[in-house]
Chain A
């Protein structure tokens, strides 16, 4: 039972697990994170560009002004870099190629930062010096003009003005022509009288300082700007995009798998649903049937009850018939036995009567002859010859049939016939006693009489081979159905006689006991096994061959005793004999058994 539920539950669990796994695999490429990452990379690019621009602008503008802007950019860039280095938006650990590109970019930008700080420090110094050098130039020009001769003073002053302009331009946005112009102007000044040579030299040196410093600044800036952060970042982005595309492809595959899986799950679910629907339909049908059955149940129950009571009635009838047929069978045996008992006396009595009739005929003839002789003798006119002839005739008759002898024979024959008729009368009377058809059903009855009449009835079964030893106590008359109890004793005696092979004895003991009468019937017969003993009162149980006994005899005994409120027990030892002990109460309970019922017999036997 449990296994039946365990398997589907496991299958359902596995199906849901697979579904969850697939769903999770499709979620693994987080598009929001992806967008953030891309934005981050763009931001880095922008900031990098901004930083470059700031630094480039610093070439022309005074550096102090841009310092704040640079610090802001640097900080933002640092944050953005930190974001791709570690944290949820980190690009590390996704793909080896991406790792490589990212690391390279990070190294480069790290260098750039270091360069930036270097530039910052150095530029401050250089700018200061440049400003100083540039600022010193006008003073030196003025000193030069002052030192110049008046004829050349205008020329020098003009040249000096040009030089000042050139230096300022150079220090801000140097260009190769600018530097050449400065050097050409300086050369043109050198062609002037040497009066202001020193001043010129100082101017020269100042200009040279400006040029050198400016060149260094420009070099450093270029170095900074030349760092390949842009392409490297682009490589990073490409690598990341490639990785993301791969992820997308995987996710697409999982999505497809999920779709297929979901579709098949749906199919399975649909199939299950169909089945369920089928089951429900069957259930509905069964319910409908049940309802119908319920509605017809009462009618069915009624029919069944009717059938059952009919069957019970049949059973009762057949049971009653069987009991009746057993009675008839035992009656048949009884009649057969009694018939033999009656036929013998009837045979000789009838035969004797015939003989007597014949003899009386002869005796009559003798009497007639003698009578004739006597009449002739006493008649006055009879001749002597006639008298002599009549006498001789009478004498001859007398000789052949001696009257005395004949009379003795007749006497003896009639005596025998009388005896035979008495015997018959006695048998008939015992039959009547036994059946008690001329008495009421229940009566006060001395069981000793019943036992005697039963013994007379089964005399022919016992005669010559079974000795009956009677030991009667003085019994109170008990209230009972005498004919039924006679049947009980007859059955017990018949049973005992059949148990005795050859010669044996039956002992019958009676005594008053326990407010009733106890009777014991013992035989010296073959006895019975425990198995047979325990079943001996069962209806239809018989040890006789088929057709020899109905197996109802002792069950009838049991039933009759039970109906009288008595009890019967049997003891037996195989090979030695059996004892049936029964006890009957002196008075019947008021609900006296009017008509024996089949149920009573059945329950009594079943008990």
Chain B
């Protein structure tokens, strides 16, 4: 099963739409009936019921629904059908809902209502392709990991204006892994050039510059790199951008709770290892290219350097 096969139409993508407004479902049917095998549910419970019977490649869910919220549904779906890509389609979500969808739902995309048919089609096409490209083996990965020789343990890069943060993170993580600090994007790229970094912990802005394009570019060129956002300036728009364009793995809000932070970073390191060993998974974490490179010329040079980074895993530049 490859993307090419899908494009040729040999295998139709299976998409499940969940919304409590039947007219939305009608619209989806009209929109995608020629392209995919469609399933519909008007709530979380029927959706899960349906998932148990029919494997699907993509789940598109509304957030606000009676009985079960979209996040709850997607979290349950992650257990039930880990291979299905998760997309949240919602009119308005408060920050907690978005952070929940990132940390618990591990969603692929966040789509706002009202949506553009073209963008939604594109997103669905990517999701289906990713699902097909990386049909996740249910559990054998664990066994496979055990057999693999442990590669050099990856370090953690902390990008924040506050110089006290890297030592703090090092203290939280203990001596298991090395923590590097960077107080600017430039410094961060320098560290990435020198050190083997597996996880990037970053604030949403470093020295007044948004990190989203850096993280997005990193993800494009080093898909095995995992990003975690650690910030006190949490806002919904930035979080949506970070998930759609940067595929951030976790979103943590300050103040730091040591234990939660430790668990999340360890989980990110595991994710990095998984991605490093299974390149076929990369497409599952593919990012949307931002409409225009938002960084100024200095930033563009920075991104050039990022593109030139040598992958520690594949060894290619």
Q: Find out whether the CB atom of B113 lies under 8 angstroms from the CB atom of A352.
A: no
Contact A413 to B27, CB < 8 A, known contacts A343-B113, A346-B113, A354-B117: yes
Query: B residues within 8 A CB of A463?
Result: 66
Contact partner, B26, options A345, A416, A464, Cβ 8 Å: A416
Contact A344 to B24, CB < 8 A, known contacts A460-B64, A463-B66, A465-B66: yes
Query: A residues within 8 A CB of B24?
Result: 344, 347-348
Q: Find out whether the CB atom of B64 lies under 8 angstroms from the CB atom of A409.
A: no
Query: A residues within 8 A CB of B115?
Result: 347, 351
Query: A residues within 8 A CB of B117?
Result: 351, 354-355
Q: Find out whether the CB atom of A352 lies under 8 angstroms from the CB atom of B30.
A: yes
Q: A342's closest neighbor in chain B, by CB?
A: B91
Give the 4 A-B CB pairs with smallest separation, nearest first. A464-B66, A343-B91, A340-B92, A347-B113
Q: Find out whether the CB atom of B91 lies under 8 angstroms from the CB atom of A348.
A: no
Minimum CB–CB distance from A166 to chain B (whole Å) comes to 158
Q: With A and B bound together, what is the CA distance between A340 and B97 in angstroms?
A: 13
Q: Find out whether the CB atom of A464 lies under 8 angstroms from the CB atom of B67.
A: yes
16 A-B pairs with CB atoms under 8 Å apart are A337-B92, A339-B92, A344-B62, A344-B113, A345-B23, A346-B114, A347-B115, A348-B21, A352-B27, A352-B30, A355-B117, A416-B27, A463-B66, A464-B20, A464-B66, A464-B67
Q: Find out whether the CB atom of B31 lies under 8 angstroms from the CB atom of A340.
A: no
Q: Find out whether the CB atom of A343 lies under 8 angstroms from the CB atom of B114.
A: yes
- Does B125 make an interface contact (CB < 8 A)? no
Minimum CB–CB distance from B269 to chain A (whole Å) comes to 32
Give per-residue flags for B88-117: 1 if the beta carbon is below 8 A from chain A beta carbons, else 0.
001110100000000000000000111101
Query: A residues within 8 A CB of B113?
Result: 340, 343-344, 346-347
CB-contacts of A282-339 with B (<8 A)? 336-337, 339
Q: B64's closest neighbor in chain A, by CB?
A: A340
Q: Find out whether the CB atom of A419 lies under 8 angstroms from the CB atom of B23.
A: yes
Main secondary structure of the interface of A (DSSP, over half): helix
Query: B residues within 8 A CB of A413?
Result: 26-27, 30
Having A345-B23, A351-B117, A419-B23, one finds 20 other A-B pairs with CB under 8 Å, namely A336-B92, A336-B94, A339-B92, A340-B113, A342-B91, A343-B91, A343-B92, A344-B21, A344-B62, A344-B113, A347-B24, A347-B91, A347-B113, A355-B117, A412-B26, A413-B30, A416-B23, A416-B26, A460-B64, A464-B66
Q: Find out whether the CB atom of A348 lies under 8 angstroms from the CB atom of B27.
A: yes
Q: Specify which of A337, A340, A344, A464 lies most central, judged by the most chain B CB atoms within 10 Å of its CB.
A: A344
Contact A355 to B92, CB < 8 A, known contacts A343-B113, A465-B66: no
- Does A420 make an interface contact (CB < 8 A)? yes
Q: B67's closest neighbor in chain A, by CB?
A: A464
Query: B residues within 8 A CB of A419?
Result: 23
Give per-residue flags for A398-416: 1 if the beta carbon is below 8 A from chain B beta carbons, else 0.
0000000000010011001
- Does B295 make an interface contact (CB < 8 A)? no
- Does A281 make an interface contact (CB < 8 A)? no
- Does A350 make an interface contact (CB < 8 A)? yes
Q: B236's closest neighbor in chain A, by CB?
A: A336
Query: A residues within 8 A CB of B94?
Result: 336
CB-contacts of A384-436 with B (<8 A)? 409, 412-413, 416, 419-420
Q: Specify which of A337, A354, A419 lies most central, judged by the most chain B CB atoms within 10 Å of its CB.
A: A354
Query: B residues within 8 A CB of A343?
Result: 91-92, 112-114
- Does B6 make an interface contact (CB < 8 A)? no
- Does B65 make an interface contact (CB < 8 A)? yes
Q: With A and B bound together, what is the CA distance between A346 and B26 in angstroms?
A: 14
Q: With A and B bound together, what is the CA distance between A194 and B91 in angstroms?
A: 203
Minimum CB–CB distance from A275 to chain B (whole Å) comes to 63
Main secondary structure of the interface of B (DSSP, over half): loop
Q: B115's closest neighbor in chain A, by CB?
A: A347
Q: B22's closest neighbor in chain A, by CB?
A: A416
Contact A344 to B26, CB < 8 A, known contacts A355-B117, A464-B66, A465-B66: no
Q: With A and B bound together, what is the CA distance between A460 and B26 in angstroms?
A: 22
Give per-residue flags for B3-27: 1 if the beta carbon is below 8 A from chain A beta carbons, else 0.
0000000000000000011011011
Query: B residues within 8 A CB of A460?
Result: 64
Contact A344 to B67, CB < 8 A, known contacts A351-B27, A352-B27, A409-B30: no
CB-contacts of B99-151 with A (<8 A)? 112-115, 117
Query: B residues within 8 A CB of A351?
Result: 27, 31, 114-115, 117
Query: B residues within 8 A CB of A346?
Result: 113-114
Query: A residues within 8 A CB of B67?
Result: 464
Q: With A and B bound together, what is the CA distance between A416 and B66 in angstroms?
A: 21
Q: Specify which of B65, B90, B92, B115 lies most central, judged by the most chain A CB atoms within 10 Å of its CB.
A: B92
Query: B residues within 8 A CB of A348?
Result: 21, 23-24, 26-27
Query: B residues within 8 A CB of A354?
Result: 117
Query: A residues within 8 A CB of B112?
Result: 343
Q: With A and B bound together, what is the CA distance between A348 and B27 in angstroms?
A: 6
Query: B residues within 8 A CB of A337?
Result: 92
Q: With A and B bound together, what is the CA distance between A350 and B23 in angstroms?
A: 12
Q: With A and B bound together, what is the CA distance between A346 and B112 in angstroms?
A: 11
Query: B residues within 8 A CB of A349?
Result: 114
Q: With A and B bound together, what is the CA distance between A420 and B92 in angstroms?
A: 17
Q: A412's closest neighbor in chain B, by CB?
A: B26
CB-contacts of B24-68 with A (<8 A)? 24, 26-27, 30-31, 62, 64-67
Q: With A and B bound together, what is the CA distance between A339 and B30 in angstroms?
A: 25
Give per-residue flags for A511-551: 1 if the beta carbon is below 8 A from chain B beta carbons, else 0.
00000000000000000000000000000000000000000
Q: With A and B bound together, what is the CA distance between A339 and B31 in angstroms?
A: 24
Give per-residue flags for A334-378: 1 if the beta carbon is below 8 A from chain B beta carbons, else 0.
001101111111111111101100000000000000000000000
Minimum CB–CB distance from B27 to chain A (whole Å) comes to 4
Q: Find out whether the CB atom of B30 lies under 8 angstroms from the CB atom of A355.
A: yes
Q: With A and B bound together, what is the CA distance between A342 and B115 in angstroms?
A: 13
Q: With A and B bound together, what is the CA distance between A336 and B30 in angstroms?
A: 29
Minimum CB–CB distance from A216 to chain B (whole Å) comes to 146
Contact partner, A340, options B26, B30, B91, Cβ 8 Å: B91
Q: Find out whether the CB atom of B91 lies under 8 angstroms from the CB atom of A344.
A: yes
Query: A residues within 8 A CB of B62?
Result: 344
Query: A residues within 8 A CB of B66?
Result: 463-465
Q: With A and B bound together, what is the CA distance between A428 and B31 in angstroms?
A: 28
Q: With A and B bound together, what is the CA distance between A412 and B31 in angstroms?
A: 13
Q: With A and B bound together, what is the CA distance between A473 and B24 in angstroms?
A: 38
Query: A residues within 8 A CB of B30?
Result: 352, 355, 409, 413
Q: With A and B bound together, what is the CA distance between A413 and B91 in angstroms?
A: 20
Q: With A and B bound together, what is the CA distance between A412 and B92 in angstroms?
A: 26
Query: B residues within 8 A CB of A409?
Result: 30
Q: Find out whether the CB atom of A420 lies under 8 angstroms from the CB atom of B23.
A: yes
Query: A residues within 8 A CB of B21?
Result: 344-345, 348
Q: With A and B bound together, what is the CA distance between A336 and B236 in angstroms?
A: 12
Q: With A and B bound together, what is the CA distance between A347 and B112 in angstroms?
A: 9
Q: A409's closest neighbor in chain B, by CB?
A: B30
CB-contacts of A112-157 with B (<8 A)? none
Q: A413's closest neighbor in chain B, by CB?
A: B30
Q: With A and B bound together, what is the CA distance between A348 and B117 in angstroms?
A: 10
Q: With A and B bound together, what is the CA distance between A128 and B31 in angstroms?
A: 193
Q: With A and B bound together, what is the CA distance between A355 and B121 in angstroms?
A: 13
Q: B62's closest neighbor in chain A, by CB?
A: A344
Q: B25's closest neighbor in chain A, by CB?
A: A348
